């Protein structure tokens, strides 16, 4: 870590205390940002943490915009700042409210479950929200035979393979460009090279990668698995920020990226400088808002999502920074 970086971190930590700021960072943030965060976690863990604001006057959310919106809806009493307003998840762009309305007309009465990686407008049309760490359990919690699901077609495949509920895709093209970089040949090659390694893929990966991996789960599940497993070598298929975190936490284990080019450009828009700017200047344009008419319904379904207990390998755990 450079002196500049250390100085920035120290200044942030000082101001964070003064401003009573809660800093939440997604697992894909850079190590420097993870180090100054109060909590680092997956989408579900951060949604839950964003409701624990007693003693804080503001939240700084280092993640993509839909995550910060989630915090803004769940913690209406404190402003939520995003360090870079252009941190938008492209996967969310696959699903607009009109597409959902069309699908609802095609399948009247069938409930809609949307992945949390969606816009507020799309969420306002949904009956339920899920994260990668809770998708199967959320779908099953509805007690129905079929659900309309979107936008991620790979996550839909994952859910399909873990439940008897019929999953109707809203858009078969929905995907994450980062997780679509992984392909089966990469995994086969690495498995040959490291025969004792445990391989773990994110459910946004193509289904053939999921099927060939030893385990599939959210980024929170990956953190827990590496911490708890006796295995020494892990092949991981997700964004590089998480791999750097895992290697730093477990110097005695070997963390092998399935593909080093798997970097989410949107998550990486946040920097220490931008976080410091928020703390110093409290720029109102960085406060995340959700259109008022959508808020009560989104809050209701996010709170419902937070209550659904995950089970099996996808259960997320609390991860303190
Ligand atoms: P997690 O909830 O597993 O952290 O996933 C969020 C995400 O954006 C994956 O690309
Ligand atoms: Fe969106 Fe993919 Fe980036 Fe996750 S990794 S925030 S799904 S683009």
Domains of the chain: 3-88+267-291 (3.40.50.10800), 91-169 (3.40.50.10800), 179-257 (3.40.50.10800)
CA 267 / ligand 1 centre spacing (Å): 11
Asked whether 117 lines ligand 1 (CB < 6 A), one says yes
Asked whether 204 lines ligand 1 (CB < 6 A), one says yes
Instruction: Tell me the average pLDDT of the chain.
Output: 94
Quick check: helix, strand or coil at residue 287?
strand
25-50: pLDDT as tens digits = 999 999 999 999 999 999 989 988 99
Specify the pLDDT at position 274: 98
Mean pLDDT in residue range 219-242: 96
- Tell whether the model's pLDDT for residue 313 goes beyond 80: no
36 alpha carbon, distance to own chain's centre: 19
| 146 and 170 Cβ atoms separated by less than 8 Å | no
316 alpha carbon, distance to own chain's centre: 11
- Tell whether the model's pLDDT for residue 299 goes beyond 50: yes
92-147: pLDDT as tens digits = 999 999 999 999 999 999 999 999 999 999 999 999 999 998 999 999 999 999 99
**Number of other residues whose CB lies within 10 A of the CB of residue 103:** 20
44 vs 137: CA distance, rounded Å: 13
From 72, 129, 133, select the one nearest 100 (Cα to Cα).
Answer: 129
Specify the pLDDT at position 181: 98
- Tell whether the model's pLDDT for residue 293 goes beyond 60: yes
> Which residue's CA is minimally distant from atom 6 of ligand 1?
43
CA 199 / ligand 1 centre spacing (Å): 17
- Tell whether the model's pLDDT for residue 271 goes beyond 70: yes
15 vs 249: CA distance, rounded Å: 26
- Tell whether the model's pLDDT for residue 272 goes beyond 60: yes
> Which residue's CA is minimally distant from atom 3 of ligand 1?
218
Q: Sorting pLDDT into bands at 50, 70 and 90, what band is 310? A: low
> Which residue's CA is minimally distant from atom 4 of ligand 1?
42
The residue to which tokens 């980024």 are assigned? 219
Residues facing 115 on adjacent strands: 130
CB-based pocket (< 6 A), ligand 2: 64, 89-91, 117, 176-178, 204, 239, 264, 266-267
> Which residue's CA is minimally distant from atom 7 of ligand 2?
176
CA 108 / ligand 1 centre spacing (Å): 30
| 158 and 68 Cβ atoms separated by less than 8 Å | no
Residues facing 255 on adjacent strands: 234
Mean pLDDT in residue range 263-283: 98
- Tell whether the model's pLDDT for residue 268 goes beyond 60: yes
Asked whether 154 lines ligand 1 (CB < 6 A), one says no
Mean pLDDT in residue range 72-94: 97
For residue 218, the ligand closest to its alpha carbon is 1
Asked whether 131 lines ligand 1 (CB < 6 A), one says yes
268 vs 25: CA distance, rounded Å: 11
223 vs 236: CA distance, rounded Å: 11
124 vs 82: CA distance, rounded Å: 22
Specify the pLDDT at position 269: 98
The token pair that represents 25 in the structure block: 């960072």
From 174, 168, 173, select the one nearest 105 (Cα to Cα).
Answer: 168
* Ligand 2 pocket test target in 177, 218, 236, 240 with most atoms within 8 Å of CB: 177
The token pair that represents 19 in the structure block: 């401003």
Report DSSP letters for 19-70, one per residue.
Answer: HTEEEEEETTS-HHHHHH-SEEE-HHHHHHHTT--TT-SEEEEES-HHHHHH
Q: Sorting pLDDT into bands at 50, 70 and 90, what band is 1? A: low
Specify the pLDDT at position 133: 86
Shortest-distance atom of ligand 1 to CA 221: 3
Taking each continuous run of H as one helix and of E as one strand, the counts in the chain are: 14, 12
């Amino acid at each position: 870590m450079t002196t500049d970086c250390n100085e920035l971190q120290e200044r942030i930590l000082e101001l964070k205390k003064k401003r009573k700021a809660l800093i939440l960072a997604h697992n894909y943030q850079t190590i420097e940002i993870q180090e100054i965060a109060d909590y680092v976690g997956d989408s579900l863990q951060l949604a839950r943490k964003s409701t624990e604001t007693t003693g804080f006057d503001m939240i700084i959310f280092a993640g993509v915009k839909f995550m910060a919106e989630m915090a803004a809806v769940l913690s209406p009493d404190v402003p939520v700042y995003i360090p870079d307003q252009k941190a938008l998840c492209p996967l969310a762009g696959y699903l607009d409210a009109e597409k959902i309305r069309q699908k609802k007309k095609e399948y009247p009465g069938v409930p809609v479950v949307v992945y949390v990686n969606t816009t507020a407008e799309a969420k306002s049309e949904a009956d339920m929200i899920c994260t990668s760490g809770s998708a199967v359990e959320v779908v099953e919690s509805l007690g129905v035979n079929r659900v309309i699901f979107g936008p991620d077609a790979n996550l839909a495949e994952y859910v399909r393979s873990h439940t008897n509920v019929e999953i109707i895709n809203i858009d078969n093209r929905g995907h994450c460009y980062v997780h679509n970089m992984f392909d089966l040949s990469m995994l086969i090659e690495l498995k040959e090279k490291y025969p004792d390694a445990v391989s773990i893929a994110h459910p946004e990966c193509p289904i053939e990668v999921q099927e060939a991996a030893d385990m599939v789960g959210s980024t929170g599940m990956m953190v827990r698995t590496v911490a708890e497993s006796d295995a020494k070598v892990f092949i991981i298929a997700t964004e590089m920020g998480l791999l750097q975190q895992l290697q730093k936490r477990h110097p005695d284990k070997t963390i092998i990226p399935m593909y080093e080019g798997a970097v989410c450009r949107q998550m990486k828009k946040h920097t220490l400088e931008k976080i410091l700017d928020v703390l110093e200047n409290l720029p109102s344009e960085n406060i995340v808002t959700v259109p008022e008419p959508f808020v009560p319904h989104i809050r209701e379904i996010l709170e419902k999502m937070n209550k659904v207990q995950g089970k099996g390998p996808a259960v997320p755990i609390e991860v303190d920074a």
